[in-house]
Amino acid sequence: MNRKLRTLHRDEHGAAIALVLLVGVVLVLLSSVMIARGMRQLVNTAGDTNWDNGLFAAEAGLDQGLQVLDRDFAFTTGETIPVEVVGTAAEGPWAVAAADARSAADVVVVSEGEYVVVRPANSTMLLAVGYAPSRSATERRVRVIRASVDAVPWIYEVEHALLVGGNLEVSGNTTITDISANDGAAVHANGTIGSSGSYVVEGCVTASATTFAATAQCPPSPAPVEPLPVIEPLAMYPFAHFVLCDDQLVYGGPAHAATPDPDLVPCSGNETVVALAGWTAKLQGGVVGWTTGPSASTGGVFYIDNGNFSGKLGDSALVLEASLIVANGQGSGCAMPATGNIEIGANSNVVRHASLAAAGYDITLVAQGDVAFNGSATFGGAILAHEQIRYQGTADSWGPVVAVDACDTPGSPISKNSTSSTTGNATINFAGPVSTPFFANTLRAEVVGWYEL
């Protein structure tokens, strides 16, 4: 009996060992399955992250492309998209193929991955192809965004302390300062910048045709061409209290309190003659030139049509509240005779008229020709010229200055090399951007549709 019991015990011990081994094998198999499923999940998670990052990269590309179109709506990357592809399911693969074919220099790296911008030469659409983790990665995920873009006009806002559409000479003891203490009094020329003397600029100096090295705060030059306003004085005519016509008479302008111009057309014959002490006109070479004398103490918004201004506004004892707009009567070209010019006499002292400030325009001088300071003067408000600007002596202004340099009319006050300039102890004080009623000379990109392909 004992022998049989011992035999049975040995048999149970063997079965237990076999059971333990079997359980171990099952656990190993389960572990393998779990590891495999975990690896697959890890791959899927990485794939989902790259999928999301590809979209983020494409969105960054779209933003960058829209910024480029704001400066130059005609910009393209050179490809031609087949007409039969536009608006079909083949548009996305075409965009990816175009982006893949671009050189490495066209690939922009962002934190989420990389992107390539595609703007076909035969379409206004903008395509941004986003890659994650990179364009060259074997496991890359690709997202494509298509923006339908229209070109629209936009109202210009002056954002530079001094902006010139052509060449600029900065010399002497010129000081261009940011009175808000933000060092944002930027100077830019779409042409070249020449400098001499001990000038000071509290902001970045850039040019589109001169080379400057980048600094910690400022970009390098050549810099992109900046948009400019189209100086059309008629846009400011509704604010005029007085309109000075080429018949050498002064009339009530649209904003005149007693006799406003009824048709908003300067010097059309429908205006009423009004008195304006201290202002006189003289015909020289077929052009009417207006000037002022000591009794010119009436403030307001003055609009000179088809003429020039040369004289003193205000003085050290009188800060004249006035804005002066001078139209050339020849349109936006450089047709002779030279009109639309402003020459400021020494010791002038002016602050922009309150009615313009109330309308949102801190503007003192607008010329469809040149603006030339011939001596010391103080002006509070923006100064805008269709052609060139010259500061000299101790000219001191408070507000941004723009010289569009659209042309250079023969016989105009500034004709030396068609160059705007600041000399002597000229000072430009910049407090921040200023709105204008003028349109920009470029079109702005407006997104009218956004799609993921």
Residue 216 lies in a domain: yes
Strands 382-385 and 348-351: unpaired
110, 136, 152: which is the final residue of a domain? 152
pLDDT above 70 for 57:
yes
Same domain, 233 and 362: yes
Same domain, 146 and 177: no
Highest mean pLDDT among 228-232, 282-286, 444-448: 228-232
Q: CA geometry: angle at 57 spanning 54 and 61, to 5°?
A: 135
Using left for φ > 0, alpha for ψ between -120 and 50, and beta otherwise, residue 40 falls in alpha
106, 129, 152: which is the final residue of a domain? 152
Percent of the chain with pLDDT over 70: 89
Same domain, 218 and 327: yes
118, 152, 186: which is the final residue of a domain? 152
Same domain, 309 and 381: yes
- C-alpha span between 343 and 352 (Å, rounded): 17
Closest CA to 361 of 384, 377, 339: 384
Q: Note whether 195 and 220 are within 8 A (CB).
A: no
Residue bearing tokens 């549709």: 449
Q: Count of domains in the chain?
A: 2
pLDDT above 70 for 88:
yes
Closest CA to 399 of 452, 437, 358, 357: 357
How remote is the C-alpha of 206 from its chain's centroid?
Answer: 14
Same domain, 430 and 384: yes
pLDDT value at position 192? 96
Same domain, 167 and 25: no
pLDDT above 70 for 26:
no
Same domain, 170 and 133: no
Same domain, 294 and 165: yes
Tens digit of each residue's pLDDT (9 = 90 or more) over 326-348: 999 877 778 889 999 999 998 99
Same domain, 305 and 394: yes
Residue 448 lies in a domain: no
| Domain around 70 | 1-152
Q: Note whether 433 and 158 are within 8 A (CB).
A: yes
Tens digit of each residue's pLDDT (9 = 90 or more) over 396-429: 899 999 999 999 999 999 976 789 999 888 999 9
Q: Note whether 139 and 53 are within 8 A (CB).
A: no
Residue 450 lies in a domain: no
- pLDDT band of residue 242 (cuts 50, 70, 90) is very high
Tens digit of each residue's pLDDT (9 = 90 or more) over 424-446: 889 999 999 999 999 999 998 88
Same domain, 191 and 142: no
pLDDT value at position 160? 96
